[in-house]
Structure 1
Amino acid sequence: MTQPPSCSEGEAQGASPSADVVDPWVRFGWLLAAIWLVFLVFPLGSAVLADVAVVWRALTIALIITFALVYLRGFWADDQPPGTTRRLHLYLLVMGLLALATVPVIGLSALGLVPFMLSFSGMALPTRQALLLLGAAMVLAVVAPLLAGQLDDLWFFLLIYPMVGLTLILISALDQRAGRQRESQQRLTISEERERVARDVHDVLGHSLTVVTVKSELAERLVDVDPERAKAEMAEVRSISRQALAEIRATVAGLRVARLTDELAAAEQALTGAGMRLEVRGSPEEVDPRHRIVLAWAVREAVTNVVRHSGARLCQITLGQDRLSVRDDGRGVSGRREGNGIGGLRERVEQQGGSVSLGPGAPGAGDGARGSGTLLEVRLGGADDTGETTAKVAT
């Protein structure tokens, strides 16, 4: 009956269900409570058969019916957030007073109303309070028959009270535990979505801003020497900026999907603008379709780092069925800390069961005049590279 706390963060991230979707248990839990009202037939029967004036019998029947209505109203109130414990205590107090008021007419039969109070407390109150009420009810079940000298009914109440109370307390505890698990899962989903958005935004903006910076610097150098070329570079800057804005919007909406062919074309554009030459070995068609999206992100991140940090003249991209390598002939990565971009790439690849390695390239990489350079390798499976071809793009 206790509704788990809602998580407004999930709504902000678009990861939680609509606030209008209500758990059926919360909406209709009171109906389950109403089923057990059939057992009020026993105290009602005692009231009908009581050897008292008709007016007192009618009044007692009205008290029992009122008890039933308060019982149902209490369950309904517990289902309505926030439903404070203080208000639930008030419902229990009213039910207790109504049950007590029936004692002059139906006597010990009034003890038949106590299980309804135990079920209500078991579902609506904290476990400790429900157990305290169960203990008090057990004492009442012993003391009342002893005082009335009707010990024949003692066994019934000693059996039914713990059965009802403990069963409902257990159900409530399990329901609360399930609610906490749902909340934890929701928070985990929100966290994963945040990481996805942060990773995608970094990859999109990092690449686009790097290219924009390179082309802006080139246009600045060309503005006096070759104004037309400078205008063309600035036109590309405008186009890239618009594309980056569209990609950011798509990323936030969860629709951004990198395409390997597009990333290779963007890599050529970025490297050319930075005065570097690109060699592509292999073809996107050779890559397993299952791996193309991940490898496309790897191309984007690797080329961004080459443009930013390498100072290289040549960049080689080698594609295989389930792997990728990006090698440059620049200054290398010795003594440099791994950045957030590579960390995000590792997360993407490891989610697909692959691995990422980053280190010095082989001596003489590329043109061979700049030292060992840097080698980034992404592996997503055990198949060997197939059908590698070489396409050289001159700058």
Structure 2
Amino acid sequence: METPTSQPNPSLSPWQRFGWLMGVIWLVFLAFPLISAALAPVPLVWRIIAVAAVVVFGALYAYGFVRMMRPDVSDPYRTATKFLLAMAAMFVITGLIVGIDAFGMTVFLLTFGVFHQPLRRGILLAIGWIALTVLMLVVTDSFATHGFFLALLAGVGVMTGIVRWLDDRQGAHDRLATELNLVAERERVARDVHDVLGHSLTVITVKSELAERLVDADPEAAKAELAQIRSLTREALAEIRATVAGLRVARLADELASAREALTDAGIAAEVPVSADVVDPRHRLVLAWVLREAVTNVVRHSGASRCTVQLQERSLVVMDDGVGPGAALAAGSAERTRAATGGTGLRGIAERVKGAGATLEITAAEGGGTRLEVRW
């Protein structure tokens, strides 16, 4: 049976879990300095020291790569620098014993520096190791026998530099994508809260005014209205909680019933379909939100006496005879048009509709008033 510790940590990305393989794979090239250390024409004790230095170098490199890929390193650049200094010390010890053959270790120093130092510093370190290798090849006149060290070092430097640059760009891209997603989620919650509260408070206001008129003339009816207000406030609170949790789903059939009731309570003659069956199920969610906001605007702002809702398979039309955005558009005033169409609710509708691949048109209705249409 697997223990909990045997499961991979879900908080670690694949790069954090396996990225060290990109560095450790180069350990095969330690064979060159290791063989040179073992066969160096020096006393046995020095050969043992050289071999031990190469082994410690490889262990530091491998452990350093694994350690640096973990997200819990408090100061990664400082920690990486410590590993680099320890590895450089092993390189110097080996070089003093075996000479130019120790320069097979520089590829590891270059790789570690490029991956685990700031990009600019890593590139400067890579250039420094290449320059040092060129200098030693010139001083020892070893281009014929060890020139491949330079070619290997340059090739690895270019490859690791590209990988590191791409990794940095990917990190910046991921951070930007995360920020954009966060902004979009905040806008969604704000839009949903606005839609929920705007509709609910509008209906509550209308019912409160109705209850106030009925309190003397018909106390029982007033009590019934107050009971509905209490029910609406509870529903609104539940919807707000669900919206913030990202779980709320508007239902077109429910919104049709709510729209009919809200319009009637506001004294607006309502022509609202009883069923939403004619609408393509793929579009009902968006149309439910649009209907809610459109009816809220009619009740709150239009001063209309009649409102008509029309449903088709791929469209919704809401028309009133009041003085809403359509009246502003018909008047031809830029200021009035911006004021009529720039509200939070209508912006929310526009964003929802655009995100669903539909079009939104707000025009003046025939005979006056406003006509809002959503169509796929």
TM-score normalised by L of structure 2: 0.88
Alignment of 1:14-29 (within 5 A): 20-29=10-19
Alignment of 1:149-164 (within 5 A): 149-164=141-156
Q: CA deviation at 1:95?
A: 1.3
Aligned residues: 354
Q: What amino acid is aligned across from residue 372 of structure 2 in structure 1?
A: L
Q: CA deviation at 1:281?
A: 5.3
Change (3 A) 1:304 1:43: same
Counterpart for residue 284 of structure 1: 276
Aligned counterpart in structure 2 of residue 187 of structure 1, from 179, 189, 206: 179
Q: CA deviation at 1:111?
A: 0.6
Structure 2 gaps, min length 5: 1-8, 329-335
- How far apart in 2 are the matches of 1:322 and 1:149? 81
| Residue pair 2:114, 2:125 contacting (<8 A) in 1 also | no
Asked if 1:293 is matched to 2:297, the reply is no
Asked if 1:373 is matched to 2:362, the reply is no
Counterpart for residue 333 of structure 2: none
Change (3 A) 1:350 1:143: closer
Counterpart for residue 345 of structure 1: 349
Per-residue CA deviations over 1:289-333 (Å, capped at 9, x if unaligned) read: 222222211211111011101222221111222222212222344
Counterpart for residue 240 of structure 2: 248
Aligned counterpart in structure 2 of residue 359 of structure 1, from 347, 357, 363: 363
Counterpart for residue 5 of structure 1: none
- For 1:50, what is the secondary structure of its paired residue? coil
- Bigger proportion of residues as helix: 2
Asked if 1:138 is matched to 2:142, the reply is no
Structure 1 gaps, min length 5: 1-18, 364-371, 381-395
Asked if 1:71 is matched to 2:61, the reply is yes
Counterpart for residue 228 of structure 1: 220
- How far apart in 2 are the matches of 1:329 and 1:167? 69
| Residue pair 2:257, 2:274 contacting (<8 A) in 1 also | no
Counterpart for residue 172 of structure 1: 164
| Residue pair 1:325, 1:376 contacting (<8 A) in 2 also | yes
Please identify, of 157-166 and 84-93, the stretch whose mean Cα deviation from structure 2 is larger.
84-93
Q: What amino acid is aligned across from residue 69 of structure 1 in structure 2?
A: A
- How far apart in 1 are the matches of 2:250 and 2:95? 76
Alignment of 1:211-222 (within 5 A): 211-222=203-214
Counterpart for residue 49 of structure 1: 39
Q: What amino acid is aligned across from residue 52 of structure 1 in structure 2?
A: V
- How far apart in 2 are the matches of 1:158 and 1:210? 77
- For 1:359, what is the secondary structure of its paired residue? strand
- How far apart in 1 are the matches of 2:165 and 2:349? 42
Please identify, of 91-100 and 136-145, the stretch whose mean Cα deviation from structure 2 is larger.
136-145
| Residue pair 2:207, 2:225 contacting (<8 A) in 1 also | yes
Q: What amino acid is aligned across from residue 209 of structure 2 in structure 1?
A: E
Counterpart for residue 118 of structure 2: 126
- How far apart in 1 are the matches of 2:96 and 2:107? 19
- For 1:223, what is the secondary structure of its paired residue? helix
Q: What amino acid is aligned across from residue 344 of structure 2 in structure 1?
A: N
Q: CA deviation at 1:136?
A: 1.8
TM-score normalised by L of structure 1: 0.84
Q: What amino acid is aligned across from residue 340 of structure 2 in structure 1?
A: R
Q: CA deviation at 1:254?
A: 2.1
- For 1:376, what is the secondary structure of its paired residue? strand
Q: CA deviation at 1:337?
A: 2.5
Per-residue CA deviations over 1:191-227 (Å, capped at 9, x if unaligned) read: 2222222221111111001011111122122222222
- How far apart in 1 are the matches of 2:171 and 2:218? 67
Counterpart for residue 266 of structure 1: 258
Asked if 1:61 is matched to 2:51, the reply is yes
Query: In angstroms, what is the RMSD of aligned CA positions?
Result: 2.0
Q: What amino acid is aligned across from residue 104 of structure 2 in structure 1?
A: G
- For 1:356, what is the secondary structure of its paired residue? strand
| Residue pair 1:283, 1:319 contacting (<8 A) in 2 also | no
| Residue pair 1:40, 1:112 contacting (<8 A) in 2 also | yes
> Per chain length, whose mean CA-contact separation is higher, i.e. which structure has more relative contact order (CA < 8 Å, sep 6+)?
1
- For 1:22, what is the secondary structure of its paired residue? coil
| Residue pair 1:142, 1:154 contacting (<8 A) in 2 also | no
- How far apart in 1 are the matches of 2:82 and 2:196? 58
| Residue pair 2:76, 2:116 contacting (<8 A) in 1 also | no
Asked if 1:35 is matched to 2:29, the reply is no
